[in-house]
Structure 1
Amino acid sequence: MGVFVAIVILIFWLGHLLYSLFFVEPDLLSPFFYLHILIQAYLYTGLFITAHDSMHGTVAKSRRLNNFIGHLSTTLFAFLSYNVLRKKHYQHHRFPGTEKDPDFSPRSNNFFVWWFVFMKNYVTWWQILLMAIAFNVLLIWFSEIQLIAFWVIPAILATFQLFFFGTYLPHRRPHSRDMEPHKSRTQRKNHLWAMLSCYFFGYHHEHHESPTTPWWQLYKSK
C-alpha cells in the first residue's frame, strides 16, 4: 500500500506539473493561475512527505525499493540529498528540540530566523548548481515565467508549508510537560484540516510516538 500511495503522489506531482507547463497560461490577473501554483506547491509537499516516509522505511518492505523512492522524491523536489536528509532526520528524532537537533533553532523562536537556519542546514552549493543546470535545460521547451511559476515557486512554498506545520508549530518554545519526551505538541483533531495543512503532520507528537506509522495512517493514532 505504501508503494501505491507513493506512486500516486509522484504521478499527481508530475502530471500536474506538465499540465501547468503546457496548458496553463501565466496570467497574473487570473485566479486560476495562482490556484495551479498552490496545487503544485501542495503536491511538492506530498513529494517530500513521501521521501520522509522512506527515511522511516515505511514506503516499501524492500529496503532497496524504499530507498529508491526516497532518492527519487528528494531529487525531484529540488536535488536534495536523501542520505543527508535521512541522517539528519534520525538526529531530529533522537534529540528533538535540543541543540543536537538539526531542525531546531535554540537561539531564536522567530519564524523567519528559524526557517533560515533550517534551510541553511539542508541547501548545498551542489544542489543550487544542479537546479541552475536543470532550469537552463528546461528553458529549451518552456519560458522563464512558466518555470518560475510552476517549478520554482511551488517548491519554495512547500518548504514553508513543511517547516511551519512540521517543525515550527510542533517544536517551538516554550516546551511544556505534555510535549515530553519529544518536545513536540500536536494540533487539535480535525482530519480534513490536518490533511490539507500538511498530510497529517500537524499530528506531530503522534508521529514522534510512532515514527514508523506512514503519513496516510497517522490520523488513526489521533
Structure 2
Amino acid sequence: MASDPSGTNHWRGLQLAGLIGCAWLFTLAVGLRLPFQQIHPLALMAFVILRGFLHTGLFIVAHDAMHGTLAPASRPNLNQRIGQGCLWAYAGLNFQACLNHHIQHHHSPGSATDPDYCTAADSSPLAWYARFLSHYLNPMQLFKMAGCMGLMLAVMPANQQQPLLALVLIYVLPLIISSWQLFVVGTFLPHRNNRQATEGFHQPISLNFHPVLSFAACYHFGYHREHHSYPAVPWHQLPRLRTAVAQS
C-alpha cells in the first residue's frame, strides 16, 4: 500500500473508535427504554438519524481495521478483533468476507470484478444499490441479523410498550440509513464516472465537501480519491491528507 504522508497517529484511531463504540452502545441502551409513543416526531427523527450516523461509524472503524490502520502495527490481531466486533454489531457481517470484497475493490475499482461497482446495463442508483447489497447479504448473514434483532427484543425492558417499534427505530431504520450513506457517499458518487473504457483505468473522484460536511456525510469517506491513492491513511486523517495533496 502507499505510504502515509500525514504522520498518522494510530492511537488516535483507537480513541475515536472507542468514542464511536461507546456512543453507539449508549444510544442503544437509551433507545431500548425510550417511550417512543410519547416523543415528538422531530425528536424521534433526530434520534434515528443519530443512530444511523453512529451505525455508519461502526462500519468505518471496521474499514480502517481491514486496512490494518486502526491499531498500531505491533498489534495486528487487534485490528481483526475490533473490526469483527464492529461488523457483528453493524449487521452480523463476517470480517474476512468483507475484507476479501474490499481488497478486490481496491485492486480493480470500476471493473467487472469490483464487487462494489455496477457494470450492468441498468446502472441506476437503485440497481447499483441492489447489486451493492447482494455482495453483503446472504441467507446465513440474514439469519445472523435476525438473531441480533431477537437478542435486542429479549433484553428490551418489560415496560417498553412497543418493542417492535423500538426495534425498528433503534436498529432497522438506522441500518437502512447507514447502508445508503455508505453506498451514496462512499461508492456511487465517487465511482459513477467510470473512465476505464476510454483510458484503461478507473480513477474515483472526491466529493468537494467542507470537512465538517464531509464528516457528517460519511466520516470523510467522500474524499475517495485520496483514500484509493493512500489507503494506509485512516478516515480521520483524510481532510489533512487532502489539503497536503492539493498543496503539493
Q: What band does the TM-score fall into relative to the shorter chain?
A: over 0.9
Distance in 2 (CA, whole Å) between partners of 1:115 and 1:28 is: 32
Evaluate the alpha carbon distance shift between residue 9 and residue 180 of structure 1 in structure 2; reply closer, same or farther with a 3 A threshold: farther
Match of 1:146 in 2: 166
Q: 1:155-194 maps to which residues of 2 (within 5 A)?
A: 155-175=175-195, 181-194=201-214
Match of 1:66, SS state, is: helix
Partner of 1:18: 29
Distance in 1 between residues matched to 2:239 and 2:37, nearest whole Å: 37
Based on CA coordinates, which of the two structures has the bigger radius of gyration? Answer: 2
Does residue 119 of the first structure (1) align with residue 139 of the second (2)?
A: no
Q: Partner of 1:131 in structure 2?
A: 145
> Counterpart of 1:97?
110
Alignment CA distance shift 1:137-1:201 (3 Å)? closer
Q: Alignment RMSD, CA only?
A: 1.9
CA apart distance, 1:138: 2.6
SS of 2:36's equivalent?
coil
Match of 1:208 among 221, 228, 232: 228
Query: 110-119 or 137-146: which moved more?
Result: 137-146
Gaps of 5+ in 2: 1-11, 157-162, 243-248
Q: Does 1:76 align with 2:89?
A: yes
SS in 2 for 1:3: helix
Check conservation: 1:24, 1:33, Cα contact below 8 A: no
2:44 matched residue in structure 1 = 33
Q: Under a length normalisation based on structure 2, what TM-score does the superposition of the two structures give?
A: 0.84
Partner of 1:80, secondary structure, is: coil
* In 2, Cα distance between equivalents of 1:22 and 1:180: 55
Deviation at 1:95, TM superposition (A): 0.1
C-alpha deviations, 1:183-209, integer Å up to 9, x for none? 201111511111110101111000001
Which structure 1 residue ranges, 5 or more long, are not aligned?
none
Q: 1:197 to 1:24 in 2, by over 3 A?
A: farther
Question: What amino acid is aligned across from residue 80 of structure 2 in structure 1?
Answer: N
Q: TM-score, normalised to structure 1's length? A: 0.93
Q: What secondary structure does 2:154 align onto?
A: coil
Q: What CA distance in whole angstroms lies between the structure 2 residues aligned with 1:27 and 1:212?
A: 46
Change (3 A) 1:24 1:42: farther
